[in-house]
Structure 1
Amino acid sequence: MAVILGCFLLLLLLGVPVVFVLGASAVIALVTTTEVPVAIVSQRVFAGLNSFTLMAIPFFVFAGIIMDAGGISKRIVNFSSALIGWVTGSLLLVACVAAAGLAAISGSGSADTAAISSIMQPQLKRRRYDVDFGAAVIACAGSLAQVIPPSLTMVIVAVVANLSIGALFLSGVVPGLLCIAAIMIAAYVHAKRGGPQYRETEPFTLARLGRTTYQALPAFGMPLLILGGILGGAFTPTEAAAVSAFYGLIVGMFVYRELKVSHLPQLILRAASLSAAVMLIIGTASVFAWLVANANVPTLLGNWIRDLSSDPLVFLIIVNVLFLIIGMFLETIAAILIVVPVLMPIALDYGIDPIHFALVIVLNCAIGTVTPPYGISLFVAASVANRPVIKVARKLLMPFAAMMAILVLTTFVPELSLALPRMAGLIQ
């Protein structure tokens, strides 16, 4: 076990891409410490990817790309602007509301962050907002696509932990919306303390709200189709992902008419490239996780934690701290595939509901995407804003504190995540 962890940390510090860190450290440990043939690596990679549910990933990725290219993102931003564009700090609040809307469609935090940034940043600069703070708010709000269903992160957690995807989807609705509300409050407080540029608002009119609502209705149909279909038993999560991609194509090509047939080859190649990167991480991480399990790490770690305390809340605090640290250095999917199989059995021994525990992990993963040095959503927001990452990171305190507050609340109040799945009859 020391060999695999030593190789893992060394390669990570050397700046080797995470996907190669996982694979190489596993192979080195396999060769040097066991007599298991190296051929087992390819078998474990295949076994890690041999899941019908994982087929949802490329479809959700493609749906998110179609959403942006087909004009769906723009309609949601326009609706959000008409709804709250008259409030102090309106552009920041519009970004948050739009993030919630896009999260219910794409399932990808980095995609949401990129889409919102590309639309909102020119306006933030034109009205002389603090661009660095705006980028920080957009990064935090965009990261919540991992929490608000449908979510690629939730699909992976559910597959790894053998949980109901529908129940996990529903568990993220209330905490996700609370996070958006908390970030909006932080943005509003910042705007109230700012200069007159934050109070330059446009008047609210029912006519504009009605027009933008009508234009956004086809976009709002996608989350209803996905969640309604899964919860109603019409199709599986994988089939829901395929339906959402097809629905996005129809809306983009025939309703908004911003998507052309000539655009499809490039969009398909982009979706294939992103999906392949995700799948490669899942495959190599499955080898790593298999070796960790064979080394009896879950039992050793569980015994160590139980020696510290028998209180489930103490265990959850330890998990939160652990994932906040891991999120600073590891990509979300790799972190889930390595750590969840180790921690989930311990959580069950403590009597913690697996859906609640999974949602706490997903929230931590979302926060991890905005924490430097690895936070991908933070990098995307800073890149689109054409600002140094370090300057954007300095403005993270208020929106980051808002997300942390909801993480603590969700950790200590399980009903926030369990009420909706219980009402839907998906858990007892």
Structure 2
Amino acid sequence: MIFLAISFIVMLAFGMPVAFAVGISSSFYFINEAVPLQIVVQRMVSSTQSFSLLAVPFFVLAGNLMNETGITRRLIKFATVITGHMYGGLAQVSVVLSALMGGISGSATADAAMEARILGPDMEKRGFSKGFTAAILAMGGLIVSTIPPSIGLILYGVTGEVSIGRLFLAGIIPGALMTIGLMFSVYLISRKRDYKRELEKPASFKEVMIGLKENIWAIIFPLILIVGIRFGIFTPSEAGAFAVVYALVIGLFVYRELTFSKLLEVLHQTSIDLAVIMIIIICSNAFGYALVTGQVPQTLARAILTVSTNQYLILLIIMVFVFIIGMFMEATANVLILTPIFLPIITRLGFDPVHFGILFMILITMGGMTPPIGVTMYSTCSILGCPIDIYTKEALPFIATIVLLLVVLAIFPQIVLFLPNLVYGI
């Protein structure tokens, strides 16, 4: 196992993409241990043969379709109507937009990159510092990873055999609290720095209702999915297929902005997105098989459980470990590799796997927004031309806000589990 760890770290240090670093280091391990490569290939291929996993390509395609139907532009306008009068103006708009986009994109990095391209230049023109702009646009992606249909929650549910319907419901309240927390942080910073409002006065009730009417198809989308899954109308995978049809209908017949050329671009972008996701899934499965073969989960579990008998101290150790790993590896790979390791430990300690899943996803995603190798951080900073050190300094208040929220969610699991238990029963 030392050989596996060293080869993996060395390849990451030299800048090799995570999927290839995971796959190649796993191959080195199996060759060194004389494990037949036929078995390894079978394991890699079998990881794609999951019916539940079909939800991922469907939701990725649906998200890309809805981004090309004019929904994003309408959501920005609606978010401006709701929050444009607050201190921070466009920064507040970006946070609310992330909450609204959670039901569409399902990807923190995709949301942050989209907002950096659309809102970033305008925020800088209005006097927001480059570091503040990059930090809030990146950190807002955390909301997307929590509010359904989060791709990360789907992968966690598939890998850990946890109800995806319960996970979707569990993410709603934490996502809402995260939105409020980040908006409050933006308010405090913007008031201190005198960042301007986008609107002179709050929108009237009529203007809010008009905005709600324009965006009703996007806003009710997550609700339709959750209700459909809960009442057995469709499985999570079938919900993904429904999402694609829904997006096509909205684009073609409601907003009428989905042209044939846009559809081709959507399919092209989706094929690229899915190629990246699937190669990570395949290589991570091989890596996970290597870890199981080397009995790493059992060894790590024994080591952690000998530290203390206090379940919350052990949860803290695991969470810190997950956050640190998230700084170096892409979130999708982390979910697939770490879930089989830590979920058995957590359930053995008496924690609910749905509760742990929300904490787990928030921390793993936040790792992508912190140095040294945060994917979301690099995406946002590269688009805006922001130095990493300036970004890091500006992101600290937002990171502190999320950490405080995580502490509250860890101590009071009923906040996370209220909706799942209400809808599904305890």
* Range into which the TM-score falls when normalised by the shorter chain: over 0.9
1:388: Cα distance to partner?
A: 3.1
1:180 — aligned with what?
A: 179
1:84 — aligned with what?
A: 83
Alpha-carbon separation, structure 1, partners of 2:133 and 2:80: 15
1:138: Cα distance to partner?
A: 1.3
CA contact (8 A) 1:71 1:256 kept: yes
* SS of residue in 2 equivalent to 1:424: helix
1:223 — aligned with what?
A: 222
Unmatched segments (≥5 aa) in structure 1: none
Alpha-carbon separation, structure 2, partners of 1:252 and 1:200: 29
Single out whichever of 333-342 and 219-228 deviates more from structure 2. 219-228
Alpha-carbon separation, structure 2, partners of 1:178 and 1:131: 26
Q: Which runs of 4+ in 1 moved over 4 A?
A: none
1:26 — aligned with what?
A: 26
Alpha-carbon separation, structure 1, partners of 2:365 and 2:19: 20
The superposition leaves residues 256-305 of structure 1 with CA deviations (integer Å, 9 ceiling, x where unpaired) of 22220222122101101111110111111101101111211122111111
Single out whichever of 388-397 and 361-370 deviates more from structure 2. 388-397
1:392: Cα distance to partner?
A: 2.1
* SS of residue in 1 equivalent to 2:119: helix
2:196 — aligned with what?
A: 198
* SS of residue in 1 equivalent to 2:166: helix
Question: In the alignment, residue 265 of structure 1 is paired with which amino acid?
Answer: L
CA contact (8 A) 2:78 2:211 kept: yes
Alpha-carbon separation, structure 2, partners of 1:121 and 1:14: 31
1:133: Cα distance to partner?
A: 0.5
1:378 — aligned with what?
A: 377
Alpha-carbon separation, structure 1, partners of 2:173 and 2:401: 15
The superposition leaves residues 88-141 of structure 1 with CA deviations (integer Å, 9 ceiling, x where unpaired) of 212111111111000122211112112322332232123222232022111111
2:254 — aligned with what?
A: 255
CA distance 1:208–1:342, change in 2 (3 Å): same
Question: In the alignment, residue 126 of structure 1 is paired with which amino acid?
Answer: K
1:163 — aligned with what?
A: 162
Single out whichever of 152-161 and 13-22 deviates more from structure 2. 13-22
CA distance 1:31–1:2, change in 2 (3 Å): same
1:4 — aligned with what?
A: 4
Q: Is 1:65 aligned to residue 64 of structure 2? A: yes
CA distance 1:383–1:208, change in 2 (3 Å): farther
Q: Is 1:207 aligned to residue 168 of structure 2? A: no
CA contact (8 A) 1:348 1:354 kept: yes
Alpha-carbon separation, structure 2, partners of 1:345 and 1:207: 51
1:283 — aligned with what?
A: 282
2:292 — aligned with what?
A: 293
Identity among equivalent pairs (%): 33
CA contact (8 A) 1:225 1:244 kept: no
1:181: Cα distance to partner?
A: 0.9
CA contact (8 A) 2:84 2:198 kept: no
Single out whichever of 220-229 and 353-362 deviates more from structure 2. 220-229
Q: Is 1:54 aligned to residue 64 of structure 2? A: no
Alpha-carbon separation, structure 2, partners of 1:174 and 1:44: 37
TM (norm. structure 2) is 0.96
Question: In the alignment, residue 373 of structure 1 is paired with which amino acid?
Answer: P
1:17-166 residue pairs with structure 2 within 5 A? 17-33=17-33, 35-166=34-165
Alpha-carbon separation, structure 2, partners of 1:333 and 1:298: 19
Question: In the alignment, residue 14 of structure 1 is paired with which amino acid?
Answer: F
Alpha-carbon separation, structure 1, partners of 2:251 and 2:110: 17
1:58: Cα distance to partner?
A: 1.2
The superposition leaves residues 27-77 of structure 1 with CA deviations (integer Å, 9 ceiling, x where unpaired) of 1111112x3211212101111111011111111111221122111111111
Alpha-carbon separation, structure 2, partners of 1:364 and 1:423: 25
The superposition leaves residues 298-344 of structure 1 with CA deviations (integer Å, 9 ceiling, x where unpaired) of 22111111111011101110011101100110111111221111111
Alpha-carbon separation, structure 2, partners of 1:45 and 1:166: 27
2:417 — aligned with what?
A: 418
CA contact (8 A) 1:144 1:366 kept: no
* SS of residue in 2 equivalent to 1:395: helix
Unmatched segments (≥5 aa) in structure 2: none
CA contact (8 A) 1:64 1:111 kept: no
Alpha-carbon separation, structure 2, partners of 1:356 and 1:57: 22
Alpha-carbon separation, structure 2, partners of 1:181 and 1:341: 32
1:200: Cα distance to partner?
A: 5.7
1:243 — aligned with what?
A: 242
Alpha-carbon separation, structure 2, partners of 1:23 and 1:115: 30
CA contact (8 A) 1:146 1:152 kept: yes
2:263 — aligned with what?
A: 264
CA contact (8 A) 1:147 1:366 kept: no
1:295-334 residue pairs with structure 2 within 5 A? 295-334=294-333
Matched length: 425
The superposition leaves residues 142-190 of structure 1 with CA deviations (integer Å, 9 ceiling, x where unpaired) of 2321111111000100111111000111111111111111111110000
Alpha-carbon separation, structure 1, partners of 2:402 and 2:240: 28
CA contact (8 A) 2:124 2:133 kept: no
1:25: Cα distance to partner?
A: 1.0
Alpha-carbon separation, structure 2, partners of 1:118 and 1:21: 30
Question: In the alignment, residue 106 of structure 2 is paired with which amino acid?
Answer: G
Alpha-carbon separation, structure 1, partners of 2:132 and 2:281: 34
CA contact (8 A) 1:148 1:172 kept: yes
Alpha-carbon separation, structure 2, partners of 1:125 and 1:22: 38
CA contact (8 A) 2:230 2:424 kept: no
Alpha-carbon separation, structure 2, partners of 1:58 and 1:250: 18
Alpha-carbon separation, structure 1, partners of 2:371 and 2:394: 12
Structural RMSD (CA): 1.5
Question: In the alignment, residue 3 of structure 2 is paired with which amino acid?
Answer: V
Alpha-carbon separation, structure 2, partners of 1:407 and 1:238: 29
TM (norm. structure 1) is 0.96
CA contact (8 A) 1:222 1:248 kept: no
CA contact (8 A) 1:110 1:143 kept: no
